[in-house]
Chains A and B, each alone.
Chain A
Amino acid sequence: MNLPQIINRKKLSVSEKFYNFFATISGLTVFNIEFFKQVFIPPYEINEIKKHMIELGVKTFPIVSVTGFIIGLVLALQSLPVLQRFGATDFLPATVSLSVVRELGPVITALIFAGRVSSGIGAELGSMRVTEQIDAMEVSGVNPFRYLVVTRVFATTMILPILTVYVIFIALIGGFLAVIITENMTLVYFKNAVLSAVEFGDLIPGVAKTFVFGYLAGIVGAYKGFTTEGGTEGVGKASTTSVVMASLLILIFDMVLVKITLWLWPTF
């Protein structure tokens, strides 16, 4: 079989693509409903949730640290020439901090988190599905949805806001380093400028939406993994499609949540 034949073998018709799209949407909806049905029913797997929060936090800690630092640094370096053009370099700390706190920190952290965590959950649960581990759990009388899905999704929902606050802090350090490289600005001046520009009200909506992003990253990975079919090939697909779908949903929900925030607090 030559390359075009291999590619065409997997080609789906338009109707099949539509069918798959709506099947995924309806499947994900049912999965979400099941999550909210199960999440409040005891026993609560507190130890499992704690274990997943620590694992996910440790797993993503290095990459979000580097990303946060670089975002702050690059944002400051890119903004500086523009502000210099208008003689407004004093506004650099405010520009960097507001951008990072309101939008870049939450969204970039969520996207990095989705890339690392959704694919991981998708692959882990997918491999458990194809090797009958989920069936084994079910026949032993344990509810696999509650034990495997609810704990992971709850952990992703809780850990992402913590990581986001950390990333915002690291990004501000990156921004400050860029400023002291290029401008004669002290740490005290930078800190005061940031604190006077950023209000607590700026932090709340930015961090609050990361609860939604964390939930999306977890639920999409869990859905793709839990419904995996087709052996190891299916596990690979579950892993990659988890990242694509979670990232896309994060961006769509970001747009919606920003609109809602502006509608509720027009001065934000």
Chain B
Amino acid sequence: MADILEVKIKNLSKRFESHVVLDDISLDVHSAENLIVFGQSGTGKSVLLKCIIGLLKPDAGEIYIKDKNVLELNINELNEVRKNIGFLFQSAALYDSMSVRENLEFPLKKILNMPQNEINKKVIHTLELVSLEEAIDKMPSELSGGMRKRIGLARSIITDPELMLYDEPTTGLDPITSKEISELILNLQKQLKMTSIVVTHDLICAEIIADRAIFLREGKIAHEGTIDDLTGSKDPFLKNFFSTKLIKD
């Protein structure tokens, strides 16, 4: 694994009114690494991603992406950094009023200002990567849950980001589609050499993707290691969490 730091988080804290969600978190994510973030619902996993991308402002701490502290950037500088980051939302967040083609064209036109012939090639190529070329002229309402996730993924990677953030990429999908999406994420990561931070509850997804995993509990990183370290832990809470997940899954 390369040892270049892609993301460095120092003493990050975030609270909503009196509820502390992230409590003095520090974390390093290396280039081309796949990091899984586990934790119970409401422990701040998605908040962590939203702080990294600048959708939420933390109360304290520093977030460095390739040595730039994103919290000190103005909106134009932050948008420059965001050009190298892809974000897959839990709901895929496809633009309802646009077709699949327009959804994929949108970041290319608005951010990269590419000429139309290059845009067309790029859209087709990215749809091939997620095996959904036939959906190019469909509207989001015509797609199944799995297809929406794939198109959401295609839209996130179309600008060739170096860092991908996934917010529960397999939630709401059946086990087979969930496995397919996880394998797709892994393949894309290998092909495009991206760094990934994946928030998930899905142990099978994590086992497919993860190089390393952390477990958030009460706003802190309670455990860190490989998936085997976490699932084989003797900690009663972790044991209970993973045994319940396995029964559920």
A, B: real partners: yes
Q: Which residues from chain A sit less than 8 Å from chain B, CB to CB?
A: 124, 127-128, 131-133, 135-143, 147
| Chain A hits for B55, CB < 8 A | 135, 138-139
B111 near A142 with CB under 8 A, answer yes
The one of B54, B79, B82, B91 that contacts A132, using a Cβ cutoff of 8 Å: B91
Is B216 located at the chain interface by the 8 A CB criterion? no
Is B110 located at the chain interface by the 8 A CB criterion? yes
| Complex: chain A residue closest to B81, CB-CB | A141
CB distance from B121 to the nearest CB of A (A): 20
Complex Cα–Cα for A132 and B53 (A): 14
CB distance from B236 to the nearest CB of A (A): 35
Complex Cα–Cα for A178 and B92 (A): 56
B91 near A131 with CB under 8 A, answer yes
| Complex: chain A residue closest to B112, CB-CB | A141
| Chain A hits for B85, CB < 8 A | 139
Taking A139-B55, A143-B79 as given, write out 20 further A-B residue pairs in contact, using a Cβ cutoff of 8 Å, ordered by the A residue number. Answer: A128-B95, A131-B93, A131-B96, A132-B90, A133-B94, A133-B95, A135-B50, A135-B55, A136-B89, A137-B95, A139-B53, A139-B54, A139-B85, A140-B87, A141-B80, A141-B110, A142-B106, A142-B107, A142-B110, A142-B111
Can you sample 7 A-B contacts with CB below 8 Å?
Answer: A133-B95, A135-B89, A135-B93, A136-B95, A140-B111, A142-B106, A142-B110
A133 near B93 with CB under 8 A, answer yes
CB distance from A130 to the nearest CB of B (A): 9
CB distance from A145 to the nearest CB of B (A): 10
| Chain B hits for A141, CB < 8 A | 79-80, 82-83, 107, 110-111
| Chain A hits for B54, CB < 8 A | 139
| Chain A hits for B75, CB < 8 A | 143
| Chain A hits for B50, CB < 8 A | 135
Complex Cα–Cα for A111 and B203 (A): 55
A132 near B111 with CB under 8 A, answer no
Complex Cα–Cα for A132 and B88 (A): 11
| Chain A hits for B82, CB < 8 A | 139-141
Complex Cα–Cα for A140 and B95 (A): 12
Complex Cα–Cα for A126 and B94 (A): 15
Q: Which of A140, A143, A147 has the most CB of B within 10 A?
A: A140
Q: Lowest 4 CB-CB distances: which A-B pairs, in order?
A: A136-B93, A141-B79, A132-B93, A141-B82
Complex Cα–Cα for A138 and B82 (A): 9
| Complex: chain A residue closest to B109, CB-CB | A142
| Chain A hits for B94, CB < 8 A | 133
| Complex: chain B residue closest to A147, CB-CB | B110
| Complex: chain A residue closest to B83, CB-CB | A141
| Chain A hits for B107, CB < 8 A | 140-142
A136 near B87 with CB under 8 A, answer yes
The digit string for B38-58, where 1 denotes a CB below 8 A from any CB of A, is 000000000000100111000
CB distance from B23 to the nearest CB of A (A): 24
- Within B48-88, which residues are at the interface with A (CB < 8 Å)? 50, 53-55, 75, 79-80, 82-83, 85, 87
| Chain B hits for A133, CB < 8 A | 93-96
CB distance from B124 to the nearest CB of A (A): 20
| Chain A hits for B79, CB < 8 A | 141, 143
| Complex: chain B residue closest to A138, CB-CB | B55
B87 near A139 with CB under 8 A, answer yes
A128 near B110 with CB under 8 A, answer no
CB distance from A176 to the nearest CB of B (A): 41
| Complex: chain A residue closest to B111, CB-CB | A141
| Complex: chain B residue closest to A130, CB-CB | B91
| Chain A hits for B80, CB < 8 A | 141
Decide yes or no: A132 and B89 within 8 Å by CB, A140-B106, A141-B111 being known contacts.
yes
| Chain B hits for A127, CB < 8 A | 96
| Complex: chain B residue closest to A135, CB-CB | B55
- Within B173-214, which residues are at the interface with A (CB < 8 Å)? none
Complex Cα–Cα for A133 and B83 (A): 17
CB distance from B199 to the nearest CB of A (A): 14
Complex Cα–Cα for A241 and B83 (A): 36
Complex Cα–Cα for A137 and B111 (A): 11
| Chain A hits for B159, CB < 8 A | 140
CB distance from A32 to the nearest CB of B (A): 19
Q: Which of A127, A135, A147 has the most CB of B within 10 A?
A: A135
Complex Cα–Cα for A143 and B74 (A): 13
Complex Cα–Cα for A222 and B97 (A): 17
CB distance from B2 to the nearest CB of A (A): 25
CB distance from B148 to the nearest CB of A (A): 11
The digit string for B130-153, where 1 denotes a CB below 8 A from any CB of A, is 000000000000000000000000
